[in-house]
Amino acid sequence: MLTRLTLITVLATGPAFAQQLSKEESCGYQADVVAAVQQARLDRVSERKVPEAVAATNPSWPESFNNAVPLIAPWVYEQKMKAIRTEDLGAIWREMCLKQP
Protein backbone atom coordinates (compact mmCIF):
# COMPACT_ATOMS: atom_id res chain seq x y z
CA MET A 1 0.00 0.00 0.00
CA LEU A 2 2.75 2.45 0.93
CA THR A 3 4.59 1.77 -2.33
CA ARG A 4 1.41 2.37 -4.32
CA LEU A 5 0.76 5.59 -2.41
CA THR A 6 4.30 6.85 -3.07
CA LEU A 7 4.12 5.94 -6.76
CA ILE A 8 0.77 7.66 -7.19
CA THR A 9 2.00 10.75 -5.41
CA VAL A 10 4.97 10.97 -7.78
CA LEU A 11 2.90 10.33 -10.91
CA ALA A 12 0.06 12.63 -9.96
CA THR A 13 2.14 15.53 -8.80
CA GLY A 14 5.22 15.22 -10.99
CA PRO A 15 7.69 18.05 -11.46
CA ALA A 16 5.14 20.42 -13.04
CA PHE A 17 2.85 20.25 -10.03
CA ALA A 18 5.50 19.96 -7.34
CA GLN A 19 5.82 23.72 -7.11
CA GLN A 20 2.12 24.45 -7.54
CA LEU A 21 0.39 22.05 -5.14
CA SER A 22 0.86 21.75 -1.44
CA LYS A 23 0.94 18.32 0.13
CA GLU A 24 -2.56 18.94 1.51
CA GLU A 25 -3.87 19.81 -1.96
CA SER A 26 -2.22 16.80 -3.56
CA CYS A 27 -3.50 14.43 -0.89
CA GLY A 28 -6.96 15.98 -1.22
CA TYR A 29 -7.01 15.35 -4.97
CA GLN A 30 -5.77 11.80 -4.44
CA ALA A 31 -8.56 11.26 -1.91
CA ASP A 32 -11.04 12.57 -4.48
CA VAL A 33 -9.72 10.03 -7.00
CA VAL A 34 -10.13 7.23 -4.45
CA ALA A 35 -13.68 8.37 -3.70
CA ALA A 36 -14.51 8.41 -7.42
CA VAL A 37 -13.16 4.88 -7.87
CA GLN A 38 -15.09 3.77 -4.79
CA GLN A 39 -18.27 5.26 -6.28
CA ALA A 40 -17.59 3.45 -9.57
CA ARG A 41 -17.35 0.18 -7.65
CA LEU A 42 -20.61 0.98 -5.84
CA ASP A 43 -22.13 1.61 -9.26
CA ARG A 44 -20.92 -1.86 -10.32
CA VAL A 45 -18.50 -0.59 -12.97
CA SER A 46 -16.02 -3.32 -13.93
CA GLU A 47 -12.46 -2.59 -12.83
CA ARG A 48 -11.17 -2.36 -16.40
CA LYS A 49 -13.77 0.32 -17.25
CA VAL A 50 -13.08 2.50 -14.21
CA PRO A 51 -10.83 5.05 -15.98
CA GLU A 52 -13.52 5.76 -18.58
CA ALA A 53 -16.31 5.84 -15.98
CA VAL A 54 -14.41 8.26 -13.76
CA ALA A 55 -13.47 10.47 -16.73
CA ALA A 56 -17.15 10.60 -17.73
CA THR A 57 -17.94 12.31 -14.40
CA ASN A 58 -15.84 15.33 -15.45
CA PRO A 59 -13.76 15.35 -12.26
CA SER A 60 -12.57 18.66 -10.86
CA TRP A 61 -9.01 17.56 -10.04
CA PRO A 62 -6.06 18.51 -12.30
CA GLU A 63 -5.83 16.31 -15.38
CA SER A 64 -2.57 14.71 -14.25
CA PHE A 65 -4.47 13.00 -11.43
CA ASN A 66 -6.33 10.92 -14.03
CA ASN A 67 -3.08 8.93 -14.27
CA ALA A 68 -3.71 7.71 -10.73
CA VAL A 69 -7.10 6.12 -11.51
CA PRO A 70 -5.76 2.83 -12.93
CA LEU A 71 -3.21 2.65 -10.10
CA ILE A 72 -5.78 3.22 -7.35
CA ALA A 73 -8.51 1.01 -8.82
CA PRO A 74 -6.88 -2.33 -7.84
CA TRP A 75 -6.61 -1.22 -4.20
CA VAL A 76 -10.27 -0.19 -4.11
CA TYR A 77 -11.45 -3.31 -5.94
CA GLU A 78 -9.61 -5.63 -3.56
CA GLN A 79 -11.57 -4.20 -0.59
CA LYS A 80 -14.60 -6.15 0.59
CA MET A 81 -17.96 -4.75 -0.49
CA LYS A 82 -18.85 -4.14 3.14
CA ALA A 83 -15.94 -1.68 3.37
CA ILE A 84 -16.93 -0.13 0.03
CA ARG A 85 -20.45 0.46 1.33
CA THR A 86 -19.56 1.64 4.84
CA GLU A 87 -16.10 3.23 4.87
CA ASP A 88 -14.84 6.48 3.42
CA LEU A 89 -11.82 5.17 1.53
CA GLY A 90 -10.99 8.68 0.32
CA ALA A 91 -10.62 9.89 3.90
CA ILE A 92 -8.50 6.86 4.77
CA TRP A 93 -6.26 7.51 1.74
CA ARG A 94 -5.95 11.22 2.58
CA GLU A 95 -4.86 10.42 6.13
CA MET A 96 -2.21 7.94 4.93
CA CYS A 97 -1.02 10.38 2.27
CA LEU A 98 -0.60 13.22 4.75
CA LYS A 99 1.53 10.95 6.98
CA GLN A 100 3.99 10.33 4.13
CA PRO A 101 7.28 12.24 4.50
pLDDT tens-digit readout, 1-13: 545 554 455 445 4
Contact between residue 35 and residue 98 where contact means Cβ atoms under 8 Å apart: no
Work out the angle between the directed axes of helices 2-18 and 23-42 (0-180°, nearest 10): 130
Distance CA 45, CA 38 (A): 10
pLDDT at position 18: 44
pLDDT at position 83: 96
Percentage of the chain with pLDDT > 70?
A: 81
